[in-house]
Amino acid sequence: MKYISRMFLIGVCLAGVALVQLPAARAGAPEPPQITPLAGGVRVVWAGAAGALRDLSQHPDSPALATIGGVRLPAQLVALQIAGTGAVAPRIEQLASEPWSGSVPAAEIAIPQLAGGDARPGLAQHLPATLPQSPVLLLREAWLRGTRIAVLALSPVFSQAGAARAVTALTFSVPGASELPADITSLLDAPGPFLPSAPPANPAAGIGWKIHVTQPGIQRLSAAGLTAAGVPLGNPALLHLYHNGAELAIQQLGAGASLELRFYAGPPGDRWNSADTYWLTLESLPGQRMAPRSVAPAGATLSPFAFERGVWRNNTLYDSLLAGADGDHWFAVDMRIAPAPPGQPPTPPVITTATITPTLTMMAGPTSITVAGSSYLDADHTLQVTVAGSTGTATWSGVGDWAQTLTFAQPASTIVLTLPPASSPDGYEIDNVAWELPVVLDLKGRGAAFVGRAGSWRYQLAHAPAGATLYDVTNPGAPQLLDGLLPIDATNSQFEDGADGADARRYVLAGTGTLFAPTISRSQPFDFATPARVLYIVPAELRAALGPLLARRQAQGYAVRAIDAQAIYDTWSYGQVSPLAIRDFLRYAAATWATQPAGVTLVGDGTSDPLNYTKRNNTNYIPPFLANADPWIGETACESCFARLQGASPQLDALPDLAVARLPARNPAELSALVSKIITYETSPLDLSWRSRAVFVADNYRDEQNKADGAGDFAAFADASAGLQPQNMQILRLYYDPSPSMPPQPWRERNAVTAYKRTLALLSAGAGLVNYVGHASQYQWAVTDYNKTPPYLLGQYDPDDLTNGARQPIVLEMTCLTGAFQTPSYGGTIDERLLLNPSGGAIGVWAPTGQGVAHGHDALQRGFYTKLWDAPPLSARLGELAVAGYAELYNKGLCCQDAISTYALLGDAMMPARVIPAHRLYLPATRR
């Protein structure tokens, strides 16, 4: 990648690979291959690209080069439809080649960096710069609505027996292949199921009872609570308990009104949930019950202590590049240090303190501390851990997840982590600190969770709650009831457990602090079997506000269904919020419905901070599908992943099988206003004064010193976009250009403040389409002049003040990050505010959640606009336009496939794009 020398506000994109418009054809441009259908396949004939290879030495940075492995070549791409699931096997029928002694440029390496611009070169992926071994190779393959699509790369140079050869003539056939339809989005209308099987579902959903657990420990369900939830108690032995589909053993106490069910729950929660969901069912056979086990003392040595375990976390730092061992990307602190410059005082150490609060009384004895985290520097690392005045040191090297365990002679409630000064830079992030420390088993009338010692030992429980039950929870799914405890006196009892060489066991004594009463409710049945052409996945809280839009779609003749989000979670993620569950529901529909949906709209905002670590209180009605999809920032929202249904993982299949969009409303009032906007847009008179207008806004290519931006010529890219519009579309432009070489075009503006005002004026005037091309962040378009106010073309809150009323455009953001709706923030992202403005702004926004600037955007918008203008007037749906863009990039893109994952459609997938050129009607003069 190319670094950009400009500075940017609030994490404006730093990444940029200029690959937007192919240059004018040169003399050496290769001829495209010729494809001829055959019986059972196709034949491809290609004359090679000798001229392009000669031209390569003069233009190694040409955007007309395809990235193949670790090199860039003037290759030709051929996208074909493939029958069956067998290997794609091109058969070379004729190959003529000659020795070649030139060189090819290496593929550009994306340097990972956080959205704020913090580069992490140690995390970069390096591919060997080697030539392909064949002139024809399978570059990628994907599925679209049951149609298998393979993209072949025809390389003009290849390696044979260690020597480079240039292709002069090539003929090959591809068995089972055929040409793709001219309009690839027509595949979205393919009827019937297109997956062989549906994903497994929770058999308890809709018939069982959900138990909401918020605390780890022993859970108790009383007869009164069970009866209130509608649980039949005639034969409680037939009750079963499940967690994540696995049955757990329960304890059944008493009978009738005194009945009580108990079970053990481990620490609840995951990335999306602060609690866990357990399931109770009534079946025809008895459920699993806890088995008793005697722990009567038999002469083992009395241990003066047991252990208590815990984990310190302080999740305040989100890192999109490092997942951590738990996979949630949240860390406590970034510890980094660099040597002091010569002549400067020594750099002080970096210190973090973890304060822990054991529930039992600590005592002197072996203490274990395990610090876990992730490293982003490919360097030697040092960590010092200090406990009770004693310091241990851990060293390791490299990048990625790590865990270091140190032992100490005695515990303390304060654990000090230190990164000491070193002769070279060091840095890593702390995820958590797990501790195991010796405690006295003086329970003081409360419950406790503790761990025994390895081997056979006797333990004394002091001041245990009267009648408390002791459980062995070493196997959380099958706890054991421990009996045979020996009373020593009125306040002490002993038990003995373990065997020589046996591992330590985990125990819970039921009582205050370990005995809880979770809530229980009936799981409501939901009809997932009835198919629909149009889907809205919506939480119950937003269902009423969505009603008018559902009615609108029904009036248009669609079979429409609003699918309850919680019903999806109950059925495919055992009650837990999960983006994977939404994908599994769509896979279920793809495998079982006779009528397949054309599009799905997710109703409600989502956030990468669902547990509110940042205290910004963002809503998470429908979670984003977070995936490691961006070559620079790593994890970001991959909305198309919801609908990439082929295979176990969406990252194994590049193309969505149906259109996906999101209405990112944060409350019912916002959704109601947004629904009203959409209906007004679709039903208001067709005013061509603005619906035939296309606005293009561009960031500057050259700065005040005439220095070029490494990301490319944004004005040229915008002109190329304007060139995709038909005649009679009114083209309006605003290009910020402070350079001394600014061309004398009226739409170019040197003054930053004036450029800002002209941008607002263009948007407030209304348009059918708006394109922005340039740098951006989640909160602004461009960085213009730091010495001016404001120093951007459009700011986070400017959409609120637009006065375009009902003249609302579809906005294409050919930039970075503006569509990253999942970003925790106080006011939402700029694109969310454009869409959610109730009296103006935009009616739909197709925008990036990733970092790439001028990165595959030419193909995305070419597919979008080709579909828009080839479709019957006013008929193209917003979602299928996005799919057309993804398919264009997939089939013809020379690079940048990640952009398919990192573009999100904010709006309604089924909304027609009511944009049309202003055709002039000519009425000839006539005589009466």
- Specify the range with the lowest mean pLDDT, choosing from 60-74, 370-384, 417-431, 527-541: 60-74
433 shares a domain with 446: no
What mean pLDDT value characterizes the chain? Answer: 95
**What is the CB-side half-sphere exposure of residue 35 using CA atoms within 13 A?**
17
Question: Strands across the sheet with 136-144, in order?
Answer: 136-144, 147-154, 76-82, 177-179
User: Burial letters for 563-586: b for 16+ Cβ neighbours within 10 Å, e otherwise?
Assistant: bbbebbbbbbbbbbbbbbbbbbbb
Name the phi and psi angles at 136, rounded to 5. -130, 130
237 shares a domain with 283: yes
For the chain, percent of residues with pLDDT exceeding 70: 95
* Higher-pLDDT residue of 58, 271: 271
Q: Is residue 659 part of a domain?
A: no
384 pLDDT more than 80: yes
Q: For residues 418 and 348, what is the distance between their CA atoms, to the nearest angstrom? A: 10
Question: How many CB atoms are closer than 10 A to CB 186?
Answer: 12
Q: What is the CATH number of the domain that holds 746?
A: 3.40.50.1460
Domain end (from 635, 652, 669): 652
Q: Is residue 580 part of a domain?
A: yes
Q: Is residue 191 part of a domain?
A: no
805 shares a domain with 723: yes
Count how many domains the chain has: 6
445 shares a domain with 432: no
Transcribe 848-880 into DSSP letters: ESS--SSBSHHHHHHHHHHHHHHSSTTT-BHHH
Which pLDDT value is given to residue 13?
Answer: 63
20 pLDDT more than 90: no
Q: Say which amino acid occupies 162.
A: G
**What is the CB-side half-sphere exposure of residue 168 using CA atoms within 13 A?**
6
174 shares a domain with 45: yes
Name the phi and psi angles at 444, rounded to 5. 55, 40
Q: Say which amino acid occupies 682.
A: E
Alpha carbon 111 to chain centroid, angstroms = 20
Q: What angle do CA 867, 868, 870 make, to 5 degrees?
A: 60
Q: Is residue 353 part of a domain?
A: yes
For CA atoms 801, 802, 803, 809, the dihedral sign is negative
Note the pLDDT tens digit of each residue in 103-133: 999 998 999 999 877 899 999 999 999 999 9
Note the pLDDT tens digit of each residue in 639-670: 999 999 999 999 999 999 999 999 999 999 99
Work out the end-to-end distance of the chain between its first and last CA atoms, rounded to an integer number of angstroms.
71
Q: For residues 239 and 55, what is the distance between their CA atoms, to the nearest angstrom? A: 76
Q: What angle do CA 123, 125, 127 make, to 5 degrees?
A: 160
For the chain, percent of residues with pLDDT exceeding 90: 91
Three-class DSSP category at 592: helix
Which pLDDT value is given to residue 169?
Answer: 97
Q: For residues 306 and 455, what is the distance between their CA atoms, to the nearest angstrom? A: 12
* Higher-pLDDT residue of 573, 65: 573
Question: How many CB atoms are closer than 10 A to CB 871?
Answer: 18
- Specify the range with the lowest mean pLDDT, choosing from 632-636, 781-785, 849-853: 849-853
Note the pLDDT tens digit of each residue in 144-201: 999 999 999 999 999 999 999 999 999 999 999 999 999 999 999 988 999 999 999 9
315 shares a domain with 302: no
867 shares a domain with 762: yes
Where would I find the beta strands (DSSP E) of 648-754? Answer: 659-663, 693-698, 730-736, 748-749
Nearest of 671, 597, 686 to residue 874 by alpha carbon = 686
Question: How many CB atoms are closer than 10 A to CB 340?
Answer: 12
Q: Is residue 622 part of a domain?
A: yes
480 shares a domain with 427: no
802 shares a domain with 839: yes
789 pLDDT more than 60: yes
248 — pLDDT class (breaks 50, 70, 90) = very high
pTM above 0.85, yes or no: yes
Q: Is residue 538 part of a domain?
A: yes
29 — pLDDT class (breaks 50, 70, 90) = low
26 — pLDDT class (breaks 50, 70, 90) = very low
Which pLDDT value is given to residue 644?
Answer: 99
868 shares a domain with 721: yes
4 pLDDT more than 70: no
SS (H, E, C) 162-212: CEEEEEEEEEEEEECEEECCCCHHHHHHCCCCCCCCCCCCCCCCCCCEEEE
Range of the domain at 868: 686-902
Which pLDDT value is given to residue 12?
Answer: 52
Q: For residues 29 and 1, what is the distance between their CA atoms, to the nearest angstrom? A: 24
604 shares a domain with 635: yes
Which pLDDT value is given to residue 54?
Answer: 80
52 — pLDDT class (breaks 50, 70, 90) = confident
Q: Is residue 204 part of a domain?
A: no
* Higher-pLDDT residue of 745, 49: 745
Which pLDDT value is given to residue 417?
Answer: 99
Three-class DSSP category at 661: strand
Note the pLDDT tens digit of each residue in 562-610: 999 999 999 999 999 999 999 999 999 999 999 999 999 999 999 999 9
CA dihedral 22, 23, 27, 33 (to 10 degrees): 0
Q: Is residue 674 part of a domain?
A: no
928 pLDDT more than 70: no
445 shares a domain with 414: no
Note the pLDDT tens digit of each residue in 315-333: 999 999 999 999 999 999 9
Domain end (from 416, 439, 462): 439
Note the pLDDT tens digit of each residue in 201-226: 999 999 999 999 999 999 999 999 99
Helix (H) or strand (E) holding 589, with range, is helix 579-592
Q: What is the CATH number of the domain that holds 369?
A: 2.60.120.260
Which pLDDT value is given to residue 499?
Answer: 87
Q: For residues 627 and 652, what is the distance between their CA atoms, to the nearest angstrom? A: 12
Note the pLDDT tens digit of each residue in 865-924: 999 999 999 999 999 999 999 999 999 999 999 999 999 999 999 999 999 999 743 334
Average pLDDT over residues 351-363: 98
Q: For residues 45 and 36, what is the distance between their CA atoms, to the nearest angstrom? A: 8
Question: How many CB atoms are closer than 10 A to CB 245?
Answer: 12
Which pLDDT value is given to residue 49?
Answer: 87
